[in-house]
Structure 1
Amino acid sequence: MPDSTGTVVRSGPVRYATAARFAPPRPVDTDDTRPPSGEICPQLPSRLDAVMGPPLDTRPQGEDCLHLTVTTPARDDGARPVLVWFHGGGFSSGAGLMDWYDGGALAAEGDVVVVAVNYRLGALGYLCLDGVSEGNLGLYDQLEALRWVSRHIAAYGGDPGNVTAFGQSAGALSIRLLLETREARGLLRRAILQSPPLSITARPRADSEDLGRVFADLLAEDPLTAGLPAILAAQRETARANLRRTGSTLEPPFLPVEASAAESGEASAAARGLDIMYGWNADDMTAFPGEGDDAAELTRRLYEEPLARYGAALARAGARVHTYRLDWRPAGSPFGATHCLELPLLLGTREAWRSSPMLGRESWAEVDALGAAVRAAWIAFARTGTLGPTPAPLICGC
């Protein structure tokens, strides 16, 4: 049911699609009158709880999880710019329904519509296993959510012709893949990619199938009928096996499957004419202990340099490209300008981010003051494709 909060209305959860286990999503039938379950995809605790803090809201977990929320200043014919949020979490944790991703401030301050999306995670979303799943189901969920926005957002006061996808980490990697997907053409006008670790965007199919067999051996049950506790337990052990295999605390066990060469070759044409902003946080890699001691060098190598190459390729393809770097280091935080630090500047509330370790000793008044300036920059981009004035810790054109 719609929930009026201040000057905005947050509607949801709204079921945007349905899916059987390991099957592609299907649009919700017009005669489907079931109330939404409000479930989020079954998941283990996030590996970034030490940085972000654990989520303070509790959501039911289950496979009827293809839900979204819509936050709008008014359900009228305002034809406002639309921002569609794809959360991070290493393709293994998180949910658009979480209070961290409340779009109320963005919607109220910018007179825009904010959509936050759940999608399938972990093995349920990205298992690649012969006879069970071809992989990329979570990506197909996101594509179905964009189709839902195209069909329905006008009823919530939004303009289906002015949609900006924005996402962080795994959410940003998802947007990169969507930009290279033929079916997504025409559904997006702009995109914002926040701290995508591009080196782990996708995994070759052969490697994905190898890891799928590791998961199946650890599960020792039929994946189609196994209980969710068994699925999650096998996921945990697959993550440990992947860590032993790669030595990387950054690379999650379940990733999108790499597109074929023919499909990848269409990426340049898909970017032509789009407005795309990308960036990173100056100390992104402090969130991933175990990768090395020099976080600055690791951040440069795993975020700054790959993003520069990606941006140059986008520009050659005809995209209008903008960049940023967040240098804000909250007082008292041991993490500096770490991975996920921009999230409370854009989304969520004081209560949702209460006691988040990465915010250190900063008061919510200080966080929200900087957040208002960062939100204004994102709103300007969603409206015009260019950034307006930005606060000093947000360096643009870097």
Structure 2
Amino acid sequence: MTDSTTIGTGLIRTGPIRYATAERFARPRPVKDEDPRPSSGEICPQLPSRLDAVMGPPLDTHPQGEDCLNLSITTPARDTGARPVLVWFHGGGFSSGAGLMDWYDGGALAAEGDVVVVSVNYRLGALGYLCLDGVSEGNLGLYDQLEALRWVSAHIAAYGGDPGNVTVLGQSAGGLSIRLLLDMPEAKGLLRRAILQSAPLEVATRPREAALVLGRLFAEALGTDPHTADVSEILAAQRETALANLRLSGSSMEPAFTPVRGADPLHLHGLDPSSDPSANSSFDSFDANVRGLDVLYGWNLDDMTAFPGEGDDTASLTRRVYEEPLALFGKRLARAGAHVYTYRLDWRPAGSPFGATHCVELPLLFGSREAWRASPMLGDTPWEDIDALGSALRADWIAFARTGTYDPRRHV
């Protein structure tokens, strides 16, 4: 059962919709079509974002709980229009954020491009990415995203979308998620195109043994059975684990809970940041999955200004963390037969101390003046200027979703 609301532009916003259910630390199960229960509207329990100082804290609130596998849909019409579909996976370091947040309202994209926009919640932090023997295999958030894509494939035609023309787009951890979904044989055929925005591939995954070390630190901090602990206790243990990870890694950027490399049965190989992120893979689903796929990837000129403590030379850091690993990934895509395009966003909002920082493209694509009100990364740039540039960027993303091509000169 879903509720639909017609909004001022004539668009229909449907949801939240429960696309799957999951017991704690278990894989998701699809929701049966005959399930009459309305969605909880919950987002995954989470601590404040590490990027609040850059983006500002979210101005909307949603109930937090474990019945969080919900998505929302914005569509021009519930008809037989067979429109291109854009499925959004949010960022947040695998520990914060939600597709239901006002930041990720796809109304402008849907209205300007006559496309259907789907925004997805998935499990975060320990609930989504804990790796601990006898408790959680890890990578549950990835399985949530896979289940969301299956739901879209099965149901999006009823919302005016074309299940054969799905573009998956994600930023930061959402972009990393897309990269890893390309390794999953189960994802083949669920997407036609992909857009990866500022995906820091060198922190995409953690080796299983290293993940188990952090899992044991989490269990020690929790001090009780993870299956029955209160959510507040889990979040407190998450915070302690994040501090321990900061001491161990020395990195303010690397999350404590990330996808696990080499976890059985999901073999995510070949993401060694010291080499081509995929070239030494012994897992052959990647080549089969991406052959013929249209892929657009890119980064922001000053991405690393969002992560103080990583170093003063943010230009060099941005090249090392974003540009160089993404370039290697692009070469691997091309060798496998994908159609590959790249972009770099250089926009530095007036009055912002962060420049073309991590996340700065988000208000160009999603959300509204109200959702992004007083965001530090936007400085004192008038919303009219933001929306004008956003209109051009949205046109590029819409054209890619329709045609699979990207021309950076189109709006220069």
2:386 pairs with 1:383: no
**C-alpha contact (below 8 Å) 2:83/2:116 kept by paired residues:** yes
Kindly report the root-mean-square deviation, in angstroms, between the aligned alpha carbons of the 2 structures.
Answer: 1.0
* Aligned counterpart for 1:93 among listed residues 90, 93, 96: 96
Mapping 1:195-210, distance limit 5 Å: 195-210=198-213
Q: TM-score, normalised by structure 1?
A: 0.97
Q: Work out the CA distance in 2 between the residues paired with 1:150 and 1:265.
A: 24
Deviation readout 1:359-381 (Å, 9 max, x if unpaired) = 00101110000000000000000
Query: Among the aligned pairs, what percent are the same residue?
Result: 74
Aligned residues: 392
Q: Work out the CA distance in 1 between the residues paired with 2:107 and 2:45.
A: 26
Q: Work out the CA distance in 2 between the residues paired with 1:330 and 1:186.
A: 39
Q: Work out the CA distance in 1 between the residues paired with 2:127 and 2:410.
A: 40
2:329 pairs with 1:310: yes
**C-alpha contact (below 8 Å) 1:196/1:303 kept by paired residues:** yes
Q: Work out the CA distance in 1 between the residues paired with 2:406 and 2:395.
A: 9
User: Secondary structure of 2:380's partner?
Assistant: coil
User: Secondary structure of 1:366's partner?
Assistant: helix
2:169 pairs with 1:166: yes
Deviation readout 1:254-308 (Å, 9 max, x if unpaired) = 0001143576333122211100000000000000000000111100111011111
Q: TM-score, normalised by structure 2?
A: 0.94
Q: Work out the CA distance in 2 between the residues paired with 1:115 and 1:138.
A: 17
Which amino acid in structure 1 is aligned with residue 192 of structure 2? R
Mapping 1:46-195, distance limit 5 Å: 46-195=49-198
> How far apart are 1:387 and its partner, in Å?
1.7
User: Secondary structure of 2:86's partner?
Assistant: strand
Q: Work out the CA distance in 2 between the residues paired with 1:29 and 1:312.
A: 41
User: Secondary structure of 1:233's partner?
Assistant: helix
* Aligned counterpart for 2:350 among listed residues 322, 326, 331: 331
**C-alpha contact (below 8 Å) 2:296/2:406 kept by paired residues:** no
Q: Work out the CA distance in 2 between the residues paired with 1:351 and 1:25.
A: 34
Deviation readout 1:117-156 (Å, 9 max, x if unpaired) = 0000000000000011100000000000000000000000
Q: Work out the CA distance in 1 between the residues paired with 2:223 and 2:206.
A: 24
**C-alpha contact (below 8 Å) 2:182/2:285 kept by paired residues:** no
User: Secondary structure of 2:261's partner?
Assistant: coil
Which amino acid in structure 2 is aligned with residue 24 of structure 1? R
Which amino acid in structure 2 is aligned with residue 391 of structure 1? H
Deviation readout 1:159-191 (Å, 9 max, x if unpaired) = 000000000000000000011110000000000
**C-alpha contact (below 8 Å) 1:370/1:391 kept by paired residues:** no
Q: Work out the CA distance in 2 between the residues paired with 1:296 and 1:288.
A: 12
User: Secondary structure of 1:264's partner?
Assistant: coil
Deviation readout 1:72-123 (Å, 9 max, x if unpaired) = 0000000000000000000000000000000000000000000000000000
| Structure 2 spans left out of the alignment, 5+ residues | 270-280
Which amino acid in structure 1 is aligned with residue 17 of structure 2? V
Mapping 1:239-258, distance limit 5 Å: 239-258=242-261
**C-alpha contact (below 8 Å) 1:81/1:383 kept by paired residues:** yes
